[in-house]
Amino acid sequence: MQTSLSDKTYVVTGGTAGIGLAVVEQLAERGAWTIVIARSAERCRAMEDEIRYLYPGARLSSIVADLSLQSEVRRAAGEVGRLLSDAGLDGLDGLVNNAGTFTYWLALTKEGFETQWAVNHLAPFLLTRQLLPWLQRAATARVVTVSSGSHYTGRLNWDDIQLRRRYNGLAAYDRSKLANVLFTIELNRRLGPGSGLRAFAADPGLVKTDIGFKGTPPLVRWVWQRRRAGGISPAESARGIVYLLTEPSIQQANEPYWKHGQPKAPSPRSRDRQAARRLWDLSESMCGLSPLPYPDESIAEEGEPHVVAA
Ligand SMILES: NC(=O)c1ccc[n+]([C@@H]2O[C@H](COP(=O)([O-])OP(=O)(O)OC[C@H]3O[C@@H](n4cnc5c(N)ncnc54)[C@H](OP(=O)(O)O)[C@@H]3O)[C@@H](O)[C@H]2O)c1
C-alpha cells in the first residue's frame, strides 16, 4: 500500500504523453494535485479525461505552454504561482522537468535557440529558477529532471554549445541530457546541505514512447520503431521518477543520478565542477536571469554529491 499524496502538489512538464503521462497517472492514483504544463490544449484535455476516467475526482490542472520559448516558460511559471495562491498554498512540493524532444535537423526557436537546447536544458533551468521561491517555501521539496543514459556520451563544446555550426541531432540530444545532470548537481551544490529542497536527475531507461516519431524523418522513425521495441513501459519507467519525487527516506540522499529507484554513477563529465558552474552562469545569461550568488566555497564543498559505483 503506497502512502497517500493528498496533501501534496506537483508540477509535471510534458504530462500529455509517454513517461510524463504515466507520472501524472501515478500521482493522481495517490491523490496528489498535479499541475501539468504541456504544449497542446487538445492533448491536455485528453490527458485530463483519461485520468479522470481512471481516477474519478483526480485533482488536475493544465497549463498550455510551448516550453521551447522562454516567454512561455515564464508565463507558465506565473500561472503556476496564481493557481497555488488561489488554492491558498504557500509552497510547491515538487517539480518534474520531463518534457523533452529530439530534433534530427537543426531547428531554431522563434527566440533564436537550438530547439533541443531550449526544450531539454534551458526550459528546465528557467522553470526551476522561476519556481524556486515556491519550492523553497515547502517543508521539503524535490526537483526531478528527466535526463538519459545518453548523457554518458554527451559533451559540451563551449565554442559552439548549441552545435549551431556543426549540428548533429544525436550529439545535440546527448549534450542536452548531460546538461540536465550538470544542472542537477550544481543546483544541489548551490542549495547547500541544509536545504529542504533536493534535486535529482532521473535516467528513465529505454522506454516505449513516441518521442522518436515526432517531426523526425522516416529513417529516424524506422530506427526508433525497432529500438523502442526493447524498451520498458512508460508506467514502469515512471515508478522510478515518482519515487524520486515522493520518497521521504531519500530526502538527504546525496546521490544525484538515479535509474529505476537506485542511485547510479553519472558520467565523469557530469561531475566536472568547473563545467557545472560555467554552464550555470551561461544558462543564466541565456535566460536573462540575474545571477544567484555562488555559495561560500566551504558550503558548496559540503554539498558535494556522493557518487556510487556504476
Ligand atoms: N523514451 C525514452 O526511451 C527516453 C529515454 C531517455 C530519456 N527520455 C526522456 O524522457 C522525457 C520524456 O520523454 P518521452 O519518451 O516520454 O517522450 P514523449 O512521449 O514524446 O513525451 C514528451 C512530452 O513532452 C512534451 N513536449 C515536447 N516538446 C514540448 C514543448 N516544446 N513544450 C511543451 N511540452 C513539450 C510532449 O508534448 P506532446 O504530447 O504535445 O508531444 C510530451 O507531453 C524526455 O525528457 C526524454 O528526453 C526518454
Q: For the chain, how many residues are written? A: 310
DSSP conformational letter for 107: -
Which residues constitute the domain of residue 293? 9-302
Instruction: Output the domain CATH number for residue 207.
Output: 3.40.50.720
Please indicate, yes or no, if residue 241 is contained in any of the structural domains: yes
Please indicate, yes or no, if residue 309 is contained in any of the structural domains: no
Per-residue confidence (pLDDT) for residue 203, from 0 to 100: 98
40 CA closest ligand 1 atom index: 40
219 to 172, 222, 282: CA distances (angstroms): 18, 5, 34
Could you tell which of 66, 147, 183, 209 is best to mutate to test the pocket of ligand 1, judged by most ligand atoms within 8 Å of the CB? Answer: 209
208 CA closest ligand 1 atom index: 1
CB-defined site of ligand 1, < 6 Å: 14, 16-20, 38-40, 43, 66-68, 98-101, 119, 146, 148, 204, 206-207, 209-211, 214, 231
Which entry of 104, 152, 173, 243 is annotated as an active-site residue? 173
Distance of CA 37 to the CA centre of its chain: 12
149 CA closest ligand 1 atom index: 6
Please indicate, yes or no, if residue 167 is contained in any of the structural domains: yes
Q: Within 10 A of 137 (CB to CB), how many other CB atoms are there?
A: 15
Nearest by Cα to 179 from 200, 151, 149? 151
Rounded to the nearest whole angstrom, what is the distance from the C-alpha of residue 193 to the centroid of ligand 1?
31
Please indicate, yes or no, if residue 207 is contained in any of the structural domains: yes
Q: Within 10 A of 159 (CB to CB), how many other CB atoms are there?
A: 6
Q: Within 10 A of 183 (CB to CB), how many other CB atoms are there?
A: 26
177 counts as catalytic: yes
8 counts as catalytic: no
Nearest by Cα to 10 from 88, 85, 84? 84
Per-residue confidence (pLDDT) for residue 193, from 0 to 100: 84
Please indicate, yes or no, if residue 3 is contained in any of the structural domains: no
Rounded to the nearest whole angstrom, what is the distance from the C-alpha of residue 210 to the centroid of ligand 1?
8
Q: What is the mean pLDDT of each run of 10 residues along the chain (310 residues)?
A: 92 98 98 98 98 97 98 98 98 98 97 98 98 97 98 97 96 98 97 93 98 96 96 98 98 96 98 97 96 66 51
Which entry of 8, 177, 243, 257 is annotated as an active-site residue? 177
- State the sign of the Cα–Cα–Cα–Cα dihedral 240, 245, 250, 255: positive
Rounded to the nearest whole angstrom, what is the distance from the C-alpha of residue 101 to the centroid of ligand 1?
5
Please count the structural domains in the chain: 1
The pTM of this model reads 0.96
Please indicate, yes or no, if residue 172 is contained in any of the structural domains: yes
Per-residue confidence (pLDDT) for residue 306, from 0 to 100: 53
